[in-house]
Amino acid sequence: MNPIRYISTRGVQTPLTFKDAVMTGLARDGGLLIPDRIPNVADQLEDWKDLDYPDLAFEIIRLFSDDIPEARLRALISAAYSTFTHPEVAPVRKVGDRHILELFHGPTLAFKDIALQFLGRLFGEILAERDGRLNILAATSGDTGSAAICGVRGQERIHIFVMHPHERVSPLQERQMTSILDANVFNLAVKGSFDDCQLIMKTLFSDLPFKDAHALGTVNSVNWARVLSQIVYYFYAAFRVAEATGADQVQFAVPTGNFGDILAGWYAKQMGLPIRRLILATNENDILARFFNTGIYAKGPVVATVNPSMDIQIASNFERWLYYKVGADPKAVSRRMTQFAMEGRMEIPRDAKGRVDLEIVAGASDTNHTLATIRRYHGKHAYLLDPHTAAGVFVADQFNELDDPMICLATAHPAKFSEAIEEATDQAELARHPLLDALENAPTRCEVIDNSAESVKTYLAARAR
């Protein structure tokens, strides 16, 4: 079988190898890179079910990365997950009648570490091989920034520029980013929303002469390697829960803003993992929940909430799913994305029962329901949920009609959102972690910058590798 190559959702980009796709990030035609086929691994599940996390990651990632020698790939994966504090990397905890997939045991206590500890090493490997330099431009609603910085800090060949919305991430999330003072790290607080940060990033990547001149790369989930790395934990959790329960199928509840995390689960299902369905959870910024319930994808104003990493109205990974939904027709994707850019809305036909997708159902949790869920799980099970995870658990509880085990993704350690935990439980010191306590008096470095692509462009050009 021919090796997988990477094509654009908009159809103009020349097919790329895995390494070139990683370094390109956003396709040159403005689309997102996707594999030209999705391998079916149903006949390998029995062989994989008892593998530990690094070995399972190797088996899955190597299917999509034929241009990395297997010994090197194993070494990169092993190094990435040696930084995690739990021996399983992504353990599953039984909490009441839910199975909680804990994805926060990495160095920055968020699920982004699972992809970015690997991607940072992958960048270093490719740059050393090619004697290259890279300027990473990233936008974060909270956790991506610190995880990306942690993955590449101190690397000689890389400068990283991370934009976050000024005063719209949690104080701890901001301190995790801005207290890393390595010379190759630059933090920018943009006077706007996360969607503004994403738009600036896409604008600069669309300026091909600027992108080429400054060797721009991305660690956001528009980079295929991010989504690929996240596919692994769906397999890992499904195997563990199936073994514990004897179930043939499982369900996953996923809190999401940018659609990347749940998209990884969608790919896992297409690969043959027996997932009955995916349950998408948003907060008040419910563009995705509204879409999967109405077929109308329409942005609204961004509302600040207790789960700031989900305060998003434009989901950057939505375009990948859309490509498959419109029959892998890049012209149809381009038409719809152009319409959305111009009008702020698009519509997808629904089936006779009003469904957009048979594999994804969706709901939203507001602040009151999120805090009540944190309070209930702590009181009943002595288990703390962070506010993003709690939104996912609340929405999961609205879909109780099936018997298949429910796996809820826990995307961050609760200590990262201590103010929300205190509001929910009335206990100020309940959510603590020594890594975060150590940041309390740490010096920080950050530049507040105007909400414009030109401002960021000027800043980056003056400091790029």
312, two tokens: 């998003």
Rounded CA separation 260/207 (Å)? 24
Q: Angle, to 10 degrees, between the axis of helix 224-245 and the axis of helix 260-270?
A: 60
Give the CB-side neighbour count of residue 65, counting CA atoms within 13 A: 26
Give the CB-side neighbour count of residue 100, counting CA atoms within 13 A: 23
402, two tokens: 């099936």
Rounded CA separation 465/155 (Å)? 12
Rounded CA separation 129/123 (Å)? 10
Show the CA angle centred on residue 338, arms to residues 336 and 339, nearest 5°: 65
**DSSP assignment string, 311-372:** --SS-TTHHHHHHHHTTS-HHHHHHHHHHHHHHSEEE----TTS-S-SSEEEEE--HHHHHH
Rounded CA separation 166/156 (Å)? 28
Backbone angles phi, psi at 276, to 5 degrees: -65, -50
Q: Which of 112, 202, 211, 416 is catalytic?
A: 112
| Annotation marks residue 380 as catalytic | no
| CA 210 vs CA 28, 204, 240, 267, 454: distances in Å | 12, 7, 47, 33, 12
**């997102």: which residue's tokens?**
32
| Residue 354 CB coordination number (10 Å) | 9
Residues annotated as part of the active site: 112
